[in-house]
Structure 1
Amino acid sequence: MLAADLRKGFMFARLSDAQLERVAQRATRVSLDEGDLLFHQNEPAERFYLLLRGQIKLFRISPNGNEKVIEIVTPCSTFAEALMFLDRPIYPVGAQALQRAEVLSVDAIDFARMLRESMDTCFMLLGDMSQRLRGLIREIDDLSLSSATCRVAAYVLTKSQPPQMSFDLQVPKQTLASRLSVKPETFSRIIRDLCKKNLLAMRGNHVEIIDREGLQQLANVCGQNEVSLADTFHYPCRPADPMK
């Protein structure tokens, strides 16, 4: 059962059956209630995780106590795996369940040992991780060069790929605002402005796109297009095809 669940993550799609079974033997299933912490910032990082259901918030706490949401992890995504390549790694972020969640906890030390034993597997995995890094670099560019309105418009577009024209916000607005590097009050104002311009409608947490072309024009001001938007907000970046 653990092996079948592991196959859902891009980190494990390229592993042989024997390698996957080895990982499964050292993996554990963890259930979290809303608000539960999976790990704290600056704890030793001996394991990484695959989210099976629910949502996990990755966040940093500044010295003055302010929280910055780094990522909102969605099902079938792995997180904290890159730390296995560091000497004496620590978690640079904390991880907290935004809703009831289930994760698989993977032994990072043994996984790294397995990669050292198979150069082919190691290079294939690094290729997939490079795709994610490319998406993160694009996001840094977007945060540096784009306006708050551009980022909100871009996010809305990625959450409702054609022909879908509506979606429900699955995370608190304050958390989403932090993820987009926008103050909560600014996020609310931007949503109101987009509604007044008849670009979208919002009822509670339900968002309906009224003028997709108009939203795309806003995103285009920042140099965004449909392809780059998907790369920026997709977590993780789409994996390469698994081994046949």
Structure 2
Amino acid sequence: MNCHCQLSDAGHCVEKVPIFNSLSGEELEEIAAITTAKSYDKGEMIYLAGDPGDKLFVIHSGQAKIARLSPTGREQVIRILEPGQFMGELSLFNSVPRADYAEAVKASTLCMIEGDKLKELMAAYPSIAFKIMEELSRRLHRAEQLIENINLHSVEQRLAQVLLHMSEGKREVLLNMSKGDFASQLGMSQETLSRKLSSFQEEQLIKLIGHRKIIILDPERLAEFMADPSSN
């Protein structure tokens, strides 16, 4: 059910988004005035490839994923979005239909901002436009890194690299997505991911706990493995 987003309830999503964090309360009210909220069940499609790109979607609660399908029907997960993150920004700069699709990974509430009205606000408040450009630059950098990793690095190297990155210097990784989505983001099948995780566990590099938790047992050896898997 759609509802008007006020800053007292679902409109808090506009306060969560980094591109709006430099705006005053009055300016946030302007954003809330052009924002509506909608709830989605787990597994429900938010938009499909081919849909018109006329809105910016902000995750207020829950989780969503953006993905594409190959001509053979294989899913490629592009990214997983958490509360405060947004999607659909590319449609603000061109009028082509969406090339990907978005799905609610959990029961979610999204705030939707009309693209034409948002562009008017971007003209009035250049800081919004600059922050959207910064986010687009970060996403482009991550996409280029993924392409490089898939083309130049082995499956083992990609997995070691992402585990060390996700651990952020700690010894624990908690996946915020299914292993199928995780594998897709790494450009491999779920079966390959499971095989390589089991191999890392047998080599005492990691310890698997349940479906989502991974303990890094030997980050030094994992880093060496990332550099040269044949040395292990």
The 1:221–1:78 alpha-carbon spacing in structure 2 relative to 1, beyond 3 Å, is farther
1:110 to 105, 114, 117: 117
Structure 2 vs 1, CA of residues 112 and 221 (structure 1 numbering), >3 Å: closer, same or farther?
farther
Q: 1:178 pairs with 184, 202, 211, which one?
A: 184
Contact 1:177 1:183 in 2 (8 A): yes
1:187 corresponds to which residue?
193
In structure 2, C-alpha distance between the alignment counterparts of 1:116 and 1:37, rounded to whole Å: 31
Q: Deviations over 1:97-146 (max 9, x none)?
A: 11222221111221112223344543354234323322332232222211
Aligned length in residues: 220
Cα 1:183–1:9 change in 2 (3 A) is: same
Q: 1:37 aligns with which of 36, 45, 57?
A: 45
Distance 1:172 1:119 in 2: 38
Deviation per CA, 1:45-65: give whole Å up to 9, x if none.
111111133221211123333
Distance 1:13 1:220, change over 3 A: farther
Looking at structure 1, the residues matched to 131 and 85 of structure 2 have their Cα atoms a distance apart, in angstroms, of: 17
Q: Which amino acid aligns with 1:8?
A: K
Tell me which moved more, 111-120 or 170-179: 111-120
Alpha-carbon distance in structure 1 between the residues aligned to 2:127 and 2:80: 31
Deviations 1:134-178 (A, max 9, x none): 23322322222111111211222222223x322333322122111
Runs of 5+ in structure 1 lacking a partner?
223-244
| Local SS of the residue matching 1:159 | helix
CA distance in 1 between partners of 2:20 and 2:146 (Å): 25
What SS does the aligned partner of 1:75 have? coil
Output the CA distance in 2 between the equivalents of 1:73 and 1:221: 32
- In the other structure, the counterpart of 2:143 is 136
Give 1:108's aligned amino acid.
Answer: G
Quote the offset at 1:35 in angstroms: 0.6
Q: Report the secondary structure of 2:18's partner residue.
A: coil
TM-aligned CA distance change 1:129 to 1:15, over 3 Å: farther
Q: Is 1:169 aligned with 2:175?
A: yes
* Residue 66 (1) aligns with residue 87 (2): no
**How many percent identity over aligned positions?**
25
2:75 pairs with 1:94: no
Cα distance in structure 1, aligned partners of 2:167 and 2:110: 26
Could you say which residue in structure 2 is the equivalent of 1:20? 28
> Does residue 54 of structure 2 align to residue 46 of structure 1?
yes
Please report the RMSD computed on the Cα atoms of aligned residues, expressed in angstroms.
2.1
Shift of 1:11: 2.3
Alignment check: 8 A CA contact 2:20 2:128 kept? no
| Alignment-mate amino acid for residue 92 of structure 1 | A
Task: Pick closer, same or farther for the CA change 1:122–1:99 going to 2, 3 Å.
Answer: closer
Q: Is the 8 A contact 1:69 1:179 kept in 2?
A: yes
Q: With CA pairs under 8 Å and 6+ residues apart, which has the higher RCO, 1 or 2?
A: 1
* Deviation of 1:33 (Å): 1.6
Alignment match of 2:83 (pick from 68, 75, 100):
75
Change (3 A) 1:182 1:8: same
Contact 1:3 1:20 in 2 (8 A): no
The whole-number CA distance in structure 2 between the counterparts of 1:142 and 1:150 is 8
| TM-score normalised according to structure 2 size | 0.85
* Structure 2 gaps, min length 5: 1-7
Report if aligned partners of 1:54, 1:101 keep a CA contact under 8 Å in 2: yes
Retained in 2: the 8 A contact 1:27–1:107? yes
Q: TM-score, normalised by structure 1?
A: 0.81
